[in-house]
Amino acid sequence: MEYFAFQWHITEACDQRCKHCYIYALGSHAKFKQMEPAQMVKVLDNIQTFCRKAERLPYLYITGGDPILHPQFWMLAGMLKERNIPFALLGNPFHLTADNCRRLHEYGCRKYQLSLDGLEATHDRIRRPGSYHETLAAIPVLRAAGIKVALMATVSKWNCNEIPALVDVAVENKADIFAFARYCPDADSKDTCCSPQEYRAMMEKCWLKFQLYKDSSTYFSLKDHLWTLFKYERGLFNPADYPADEIVYDGCNCGNAHFTILSDGACYACRRMESKVGNALTDDLYTLFTGPEMDKYRIYENFEKCSRCELLRFCRGCPAVAAGYHGSMYAPDPQCWKEIS
Ligand SMILES: C[S@@+](CC[C@H](N)C(=O)[O-])C[C@H]1O[C@@H](n2cnc3c(N)ncnc32)[C@H](O)[C@@H]1O
Ligand code: SF4
Ligand code: SF4
């Protein structure tokens, strides 16, 4: 059975105030929301009912803020263990003692994603002084406890030229996975985005490093959907190898195999853009997922540029980046360099 991914933000509590963070972009930290324990039980029941109906296995990405800062975090971890639901955490490095990591593993945490947003000066400028060293120091502690470590960079103009060097850092520090995704701007921060040419050049340099380190213990995840375009241009991916049917084989998961739940229960098609479709505390998730609000994310002929591209069923760029940049998720991905007549 295939997995269905839930990104679950249980709290907004956080020890950092990153310059690019969507949580703090609207000053929402003033409210500092976090989910109550009884609500967590309700959400978990809803998720399991959804998965039974959809014939999927639940995979939870528990996040925040920093999820471990939720006062009932260990209660939730205990519930997941009891229900035999594997999970990953997307969190900060600051509370990852050997003891906490051992406990996390016992409760079923398989992977921990840490952010690495540049070399030391850049990362610490975006996040907070000392954060770079604490992030790298957490890697061996997590691994010693049997938890895989993913390093994730959020790419913007601030760090674009340092991403290839982060591949070296990931390999040297024995991260299990390295990936990057793009910064989703708002109307006031568009100039923080890379140009398509800058982005493609950065990918080229990373690709060369991936080849260089192909025998290392680090797995290079081609998370950004524009990798499909990159490989297509090099003859490493061919849509003609797939049947000429209507099936969406790959690309953005939004509307296909993903839901985000926020700490007030709000259910989003994707956390990276304004895409609220209901509330996991009051709505049945299966009804939401199969309903008209979610259909908006599955009407592929509406995507202005992608609908005319032979990679439509495999890529679709990042609709959230397009939404932040142009004000519409159907607009062209601002970093897609493909010319389409
Ligand atoms: C909200 S954080 C929560 C986990 C943890 N606090 C961290 O920073 O890794 C999850 C991911 O969202 C990314 N993120 C935050 N704001 C973003 C934005 N405006 N566009 C794209 N990614 C963003 C962060 O860089 C991080 O990789
Ligand atoms: S650490 Fe994560 S949640 Fe906290 S401000 Fe930074 S990106 Fe946002
Ligand atoms: S037009 Fe859309 S589907 Fe085609 S390569 Fe660009 S982002 Fe991907």
Of 189 and 220, which is predicted with more confidence? 220
Which pLDDT score is estimated for 32?
Answer: 74
| Ligand 1 geometric centre to CA of 271 (Å) | 10
Of 291 and 33, which is predicted with more confidence? 291
Question: What's the average model confidence in pLDDT over 46-75?
Answer: 96
Residue 28 has pLDDT above 60, yes or no: no
Question: What's the average model confidence in pLDDT over 141-166?
Answer: 98
Confidence of residue 54 (pLDDT cuts 50, 70, 90): very high
Confidence of residue 30 (pLDDT cuts 50, 70, 90): low
Ligand with the closest atom to the CA of 196: 3
Confidence of residue 27 (pLDDT cuts 50, 70, 90): low
Which pLDDT score is estimated for 320?
Answer: 96
What are the CA-CA distances from residue 272 to residues 83, 145, 211 (Å)?
A: 29, 31, 30
Q: Name the pairing type of β-strands 177-182 and 148-155.
A: parallel
Which pLDDT score is estimated for 22?
Answer: 85
Residue in 234, 304, 315, 318 to alter for ligand 3 test, most ligand atoms within 8 A of Cβ: 315
pLDDT digits (tens, 9 = 90+) for 256-278: 889 999 999 999 999 999 999 99
| Ligand 1 geometric centre to CA of 292 (Å) | 28
Q: Which atom of ligand 2 is nearest to the CA of 17?
A: 5
Q: Is 32 in the pocket of ligand 2 (CB under 6 A)?
A: no
Confidence of residue 59 (pLDDT cuts 50, 70, 90): very high
Question: What's the average model confidence in pLDDT over 23-47?
Answer: 83
Average pLDDT value over all residues in the chain:
95
Work out the burial of residue 35: count CB atoms within 10 Å of its CB; fewer than 13 is exposed, 13-18 middle, 19 or more buried: buried
Please state, for a pLDDT cut of 90, what percent of the chain lies above it.
89
Please state, for a pLDDT cut of 70, what percent of the chain lies above it.
98
pLDDT digits (tens, 9 = 90+) for 220-259: 999 999 999 999 999 999 999 999 888 889 999 888 889 9
Sign of CA dihedral 54, 273, 93, 135: positive
Question: What's the average model confidence in pLDDT over 282-301?
Answer: 95
Which pLDDT score is estimated for 112?
Answer: 98
Confidence of residue 31 (pLDDT cuts 50, 70, 90): low
Which pLDDT score is estimated for 26?
Answer: 60
